[in-house]
Structure 1
Amino acid sequence: MSVQSREIAAAAGRPDGVAFDSPRRYGLVTRLFHGTLAALVLWQFTIVALYKIFGETPWLNGIARFGPHGYVGLAVLVIAVCRSLWRLSQLRRQPPQERGARGRLARLSHLALHALMIVVPALALVRIYGKGKGLEIGGVTLIPATGREEPWLIAGPDALHGPLSWALLVLIAGHVGMALAHTLVWRDGTLGRMFGRL
């Protein structure tokens, strides 16, 4: 079989190419969303953990400047919303979910994970507005500065942002743990859907 014939045969098994999801694996777009969000969220928690361990130091402030917490949080929010919309568009294409209680638990945990990646940074934006400071990135005003504080817009986000962030971390740890269990214990090829061949 010629190279061209092999490419045609491969394309026949992947009618929409590598960008879209299919019943046997997640596509390139889903994988890019997954990897980007994982990297950004890992950065956020790593910097927060380092500040809690070492306190505010010049070297840590220098590292944190590479990805300021607020800017990275905003990026997480935007990408998580895009990821959720993409996921909805791919529901009929995606690999089938596991059946039974374990499958239901997986669906609920994924839903909670995606929701928190939107809610946690959104709460921070509400808090910024409540403090009247506003938010500007690259000369573009995203949140107008009012110059006055609104305590009721600060109290709720202040109370929820931290605990929900740690809840997100717990869900991420569970997500990683289950991925390892699928690979090392059940050996069912689940991890290959996200990281295997396109």
Structure 2
Amino acid sequence: MAKVQQSTHPAYDAVARTLHWLTVLLIAMQFVIGWTMPDIHKGTQPVGLIAWHLGVGSTLIAVMVIRVVWRLTHWPTPDELPPLLSVVSRITHFLLYAALVAVPLLGWINASSRGWTVRLLGLVPYPALSETGSDFGHEMGDVHGVLAWVLFALIALHVAAALFHRFVLKDHVLQRMLPHAGPSNDSPRNQ
């Protein structure tokens, strides 16, 4: 039986990889649901695809909280990138994390302004982040829609960069986030 060859390049740990791919799945679901659900108007009820959008969004919020805490407490092994690529990578990752937190948060604020209860897994209610009928909450719904497109563009840039690393630079940056990518060298930040 052939032995699977391990990469000598350090990978992200299993928790970071799992959270990354779970985020990918949830975001893909959100974009499909968001593009296919009916428009939301005054008096629209959170049923059907709108309920699904709220449910997946509430799960995304929970995953992102865990992901941010994990990232803040575990340093990934630095990539061996040229200085300019390293700076671009850090900026892009920061913007991705910011958008991945802001977009569902703004959706939650908007849902609260409509009097909708956002529930994790349909069970655990999240607190309202704006009063029912709040003009601010309704405006955040518009910002939510615009930032979703910004998030989409950042994701496209992230995917393009991963493919650039794999097929042009032929380095191991992409493989670090794939299963069986090699030994993890992530370390807790407090060590």
What TM-score, normalized to structure 2?
0.75
Q: Distance in 1 between matches of 2:16 and 2:173?
A: 15
RMSD: 2.9
Instruction: Determine whether 1:154 maps to 2:141.
Output: no
Matched AA of 2:125: T
* Aligned mate of 2:29, from 43, 50, 75: 43
| Change beyond 3 A, Cα 1:49–1:187 | same
Count of residues paired in the alignment: 166
Instruction: Determine whether 1:102 maps to 2:85.
Output: yes
Residue-by-residue CA offset, 1:5-39 (whole Å, 9 max, x unaligned): xxxxx9xxxxxxxxxxxx72111001100110001
Partner of 2:68 in structure 1? 84
Shift of 1:111: 0.5
> Matched residues, percent identical?
28
Partner of 2:113 in structure 1? 130
138-147 or 157-166: bigger deviation: 138-147
Question: Is the CA contact 1:133–1:145 (under 8 Å) kept in the aligned structure 2?
Answer: no
Looking at secondary structure, tell me which structure has more helix per residue: 1
| Change beyond 3 A, Cα 1:89–1:97 | farther
Q: Distance in 2 between matches of 1:147 and 1:26?
A: 41
Shift of 1:133: 3.1
| Change beyond 3 A, Cα 1:144–1:126 | closer
Instruction: Determine whether 1:190 maps to 2:173.
Output: yes
Question: Is the CA contact 1:182–1:191 (under 8 Å) kept in the aligned structure 2?
Answer: yes
Matched AA of 2:60: V
Alignment of 1:166-177 (within 5 A): 166-177=149-160
Partner of 2:57 in structure 1? 73
Partner of 2:18 in structure 1? 32
Matched AA of 1:129: S
Residue-by-residue CA offset, 1:58-84 (whole Å, 9 max, x unaligned): xxx98x59x811111111111112111
Shift of 1:188: 0.9
Matched AA of 2:30: Q
Where structure 1 has 5 or more consecutive residues not aligned to the other structure, the ranges are 1-9, 11-22, 53-60
In terms of Rg, which structure is larger? 1
Shift of 1:144: 5.3
